[in-house]
Structures are given as C-alpha cells and as structure tokens.
Amino acid sequence: MKILLAFMESCFIFLIQPVSAAEVNVKITGEIYIPPCKINGDDTEIQISFDKISLYEVDGYKNAKTKTVTVTCNYYQGTPYIRMDGAVLSGAGDNVLKTSGANALTLGIALYQGSDVDTAYPLRIGSGEQGKFGYKITRGLTGLNTTTGLLTFTAVPYKYGSGTLNAGAFGATATMSISYL
C-alpha cells in the first residue's frame, strides 16, 4: 500500500504543470467635484428688461435694475464664488458685458454685487482668481453657508468712450454659476 501511495504521489507531481500568470495593471480614475448651486429656482433663466431708455441717460448710474434670485446649494461650506461667463465690452471694466445691436462697440451692461451701483463691488466676468470658479462674492448674498439664500445684483446700461449712442434695441447674455470653495 505504501508503494502504491508513493507511486501515486510521484505521478501526481509529474502531472502538475507549472502555471504561468500574466500581471495586469488595474487603473481606476474618477473625479470628486464641488457641485454648483442652483440659481433662480431650478436654474430658470433670469430676465432683466430696461424697456426704453433715453440715449442721454446712459451714464452707468441711471436706469439701474436690481435683481434678487434664490440660491440653493447642496455643498455650502467655505467661501462662495460667482462666475459670470459672457463677452466683455472691449476697453471697459471686466464687469461690463458687451451688448449686441446698433451700439455694440460703445454700449455695455455694467454688473455689480448688491442692490446698487457701487464701483467697490463689481460683479466681474470671467473664470476668476483660481481660473475656474469666478470671483469671491463679497456683497449681496444672504444665507451665507446655508442651503438656501438670496443673491442680489445690479445691472446698469454703461456707455464706453465719448462717442454718441444711436437709437436702437440692445441685448446682452451671460451665464451665472455659484460654488462654495
């Protein structure tokens, strides 16, 4: 019996084939991001109408319109940033949107944080200090570091340069996003 067991063991050892294994890397990727806040309910378009304005009253102060919108954030820790994406009126400040229409080279819409025209609190256009999230909100946001708040901003027609304006319709468009960092 011992001889039979020894014979079976030696056969078993010879029957075993070496196993070769290939090594494969596993690459796992993803991105954790800061979700932007919802603006004006469920990201509903914000409308600002200036109606009819005398071309002699476009001075960057008169005919200002203030708008307050709701801001709802799932992530609300840290500092709030606002990003405005749109075309800037060439030669004007970085808070002046370019308009379309008869006065596209001289008429813009200046934007300000808060409920009035205050040059200390421009609502600047562009990707901002960090190149992605815009600029710090320093005025006009209530409900700081809470789920729901209100953002107040002001828009005012702005004439660049000393040229005269022509009568005609105008419009401007920008995209707004708010995130906490």
- Sheet-wide strand order for 80-85: 135-136, 80-85, 175-180
Burial 112-147 (b: 16+ CB within 10 A, else e): bbbeebeeebbbbbeebeeeebbbebebbbebeeee
Query: How many CB atoms within 10 Å of residue 105?
Result: 14
Answer whether residue 53 is part of any domain.
no
64 vs 42 pLDDT, higher one = 64
Range(s) of the domain holding residue 116:
61-162+171-181
Answer whether residue 17 is part of any domain.
no
The pLDDT confidence band at residue 77, using thresholds 50, 70 and 90, is very high
The token duo for 88 is 């800037």
Strands 107-113 and 170-171: unpaired
Q: What is the pTM of this model?
A: 0.82
Tell me 103's DSSP state. Answer: T
- In this prediction, residue 160 carries a pLDDT of 96
Query: pLDDT tens digits, residue range 20-56?
Result: 778 999 999 999 988 889 999 888 899 999 999 999 9
From first CA to last CA, the distance across the chain in angstroms is 78
The token duo for 119 is 């040059």
- Phi then psi for residue 161, to 5 deg, are 85, -175
Structural domain tally of the chain?
1
Answer whether residue 50 is part of any domain.
no
Question: Does the pLDDT value for residue 64 go beyond 80?
Answer: yes
- Phi then psi for residue 54, to 5 deg, are -65, 135
Answer whether residue 26 is part of any domain.
no
Answer whether residue 16 is part of any domain.
no
Answer whether residue 6 is part of any domain.
no
The token duo for 89 is 């009126």
Tell me 168's DSSP state. Answer: -
Answer whether residue 103 is part of any domain.
yes
The pLDDT confidence band at residue 3, using thresholds 50, 70 and 90, is low
- In this prediction, residue 82 carries a pLDDT of 97
Q: For 111-123, what is the mean pLDDT?
A: 98
Question: Does the pLDDT value for residue 15 go beyond 90?
Answer: no
Rounded CA-CA distance 177/84 in Å is: 7
Rounded CA-CA distance 153/174 in Å is: 13
- In this prediction, residue 1 carries a pLDDT of 56
Q: What is the CATH number of the domain that holds 115?
A: 2.60.40.1090
Answer whether residue 84 is part of any domain.
yes
Nearest in space to 95 (alpha carbons), one of 132, 120, 70:
120
Rounded CA-CA distance 166/146 in Å is: 46
